[in-house]
């Protein structure tokens, strides 16, 4: 019943975004639409859209449409957060607070109406976290395989998902060192099998259509994007959207290294500085009131929940490292809201037992942030 209540609250906050999707449409949306059209067979081209390299969102778009492919995962994400906290802390009230924090996140509300893979990746983040909690509770090969498979699906959704795989050996080391390599190997194998199976299916489809995937997205392109982003989004867009912009994927790694060997370290330093002093603050700024419940939640987890706290920290570090060393965009930090919700839920529960007035005020501010975003969508 409590989980159903969280679902209803989530839908209530996101319906305005469904009725009034963000305008203008994000630059990447058209690429995902082309990928979905190619899978559906309505797009015939000698070169398949490069977004097929991350095919989960295009596949879901074929089934339910691009808008619902973002909206449906968005409304289910707080429910998953609710389940994660309920299993990890054995407390329905803590789970309700965590689900409420996630449901009212302004960024998550806004991107529920974006025709992008971001909301789906947030759902995958919560799904990986659920599998990790199950693995912590029962450190067996079966749950290691489940966690690895979830990481594989997250990886097939967005490249950042591969960073979550590091959580498995971390948890195995803390819970069952005797079977560390066996559990880690099982998780890695499951991850590779799931991700490889998805990629092989897409490549087979492309081959049957007599096409090849566009060579415009690769690791070199992501790194160069990160270098350009270090000077600001406007500068990056002014360079990459020029008709004469040279494709970095056509360079060899030797040529690429020679081109950027002097600029890359400065870009990494600039991205790290920008992330620490601006992007993380912006991603979590609507929830600055979470400082107290987050602190209380962390202190409460240092005892019997330290394995989960370590797993959350490893996931966060993986997200931050990918943003700093490869590509920094503010929306790549939104999964931190999922992790923060899991910690804040028990923190609010502890505050509720100590000072209900303080807890109610902080929760009210959290909800108001979501109400404000929903109102902006309604009037926009």
Number of helices (H) and strands (E) in the chain: give both, helices first.
Answer: 19, 2
pLDDT for 47 equals: 77
Secondary element (H or E) of residue 336:
helix 335-354
How far apart are alpha carbons 376 and 22 in whole angstroms? 10
Band of the pLDDT at 126, cuts 50, 70, 90?
Answer: very high
User: What pTM, to 2 d.p., does this model score?
Assistant: 0.87
What are the structure tokens assigned to 333, written together? 């930090």
Question: Is 90 exceeded by the pLDDT of residue 81?
Answer: yes
Tell me the C-alpha to C-alpha distance, in Å, between residue 139 and each of 135, 145, 149, 177, 207. Answer: 5, 10, 15, 10, 40
Contacts (Cβ under 8 Å, ≥6 apart) of 196: none
* Among candidate residues 308, 291, 304, the one with its CA nearest the CA of residue 365: 291
Using CA atoms, how far apart are residues 228 and 236, in angstroms rounded to an integer?
Answer: 5
Does residue 98 have a pLDDT over 90? yes
Q: What is the pLDDT of residue 29?
A: 81
Residue 336 has pLDDT above 70, yes or no: yes
pLDDT in tens, 186-214: 999 999 999 999 999 999 998 888 887 87
Q: In the predicted model, what is the mean pLDDT of residues 100-127?
A: 91
* pLDDT digit string, tens, across residues 259-317: 877 787 888 787 777 766 666 666 666 567 788 888 888 888 888 889 999 999 999 88
Q: Write out the DSSP string of 115-155.
A: SSSHHHHHHHHHHHHHHHHHHHHS-SHHHHHHHHHHHHHHH
Q: What is the pLDDT of residue 260?
A: 75
The listed range with the strongest mean pLDDT (82-96, 235-249, 341-355) is 82-96
pLDDT in the model for residue 217: 63
């Amino acid at each position: 019943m409590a989980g159903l209540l969280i679902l209803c609250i989530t839908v209530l906050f996101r319906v305005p975004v469904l009725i009034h999707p963000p305008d203008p449409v994000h630059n990447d949306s058209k690429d995902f639409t082309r990928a979905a059209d190619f899978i559906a067979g309505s797009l015939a081209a000698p070169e398949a859209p490069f977004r097929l390299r991350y095919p989960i969102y295009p596949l879901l778009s074929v089934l339910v449409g691009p808008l619902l492919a973002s909206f449906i995962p968005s409304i289910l994400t707080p429910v998953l957060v609710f389940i994660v906290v309920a299993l990890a802390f054995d407390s329905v009230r803590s789970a309700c607070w965590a689900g409420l924090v996630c449901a009212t996140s302004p960024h998550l509300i806004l991107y529920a109406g974006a025709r992008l893979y971001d909301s789906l990746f947030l759902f995958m983040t919560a799904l990986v976290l659920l599998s990790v909690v199950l693995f912590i509770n029962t450190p067996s090969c079966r749950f290691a395989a489940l966690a690895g498979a979830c990481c594989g699906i997250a990886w097939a959704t967005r490249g950042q998902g591969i960073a979550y795989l590091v959580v498995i050996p971390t948890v195995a080391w803390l819970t069952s060192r005797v079977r560390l390599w066996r559990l880690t190997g099982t998780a890695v194998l499951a991850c590779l099998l799931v991700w490889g199976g998805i990629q092989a299916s897409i490549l087979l489809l492309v081959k049957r259509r007599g096409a090849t995937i566009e060579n415009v997205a690769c690791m070199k392109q992501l790194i160069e994007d990160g270098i350009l982003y270090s000077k600001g989004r406007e500068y990056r867009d002014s360079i990459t959207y020029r008709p004469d912009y040279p494709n970095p994927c056509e360079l060899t790694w030797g040529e690429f290294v020679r081109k950027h060997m002097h600029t890359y370290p400065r870009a990494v330093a600039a991205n790290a500085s920008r992330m620490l002093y601006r992007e993380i603050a912006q991603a979590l700024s609507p929830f600055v009131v979470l400082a107290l419940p987050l602190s209380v939640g962390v202190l409460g987890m240092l005892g019997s929940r330290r394995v989960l706290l370590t797993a959350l920290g490893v996931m966060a570090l993986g997200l931050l490292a990918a943003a700093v060393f490869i590509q920094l965009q503010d929306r790549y930090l939104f999964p931190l809201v999922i992790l923060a919700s899991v910690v804040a839920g028990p923190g609010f529960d502890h505050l509720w037992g100590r000072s209900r007035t303080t807890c109610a005020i902080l929760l009210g501010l959290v909800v108001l942030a979501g109400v404000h975003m929903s109102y902006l969508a309604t009037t926009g």
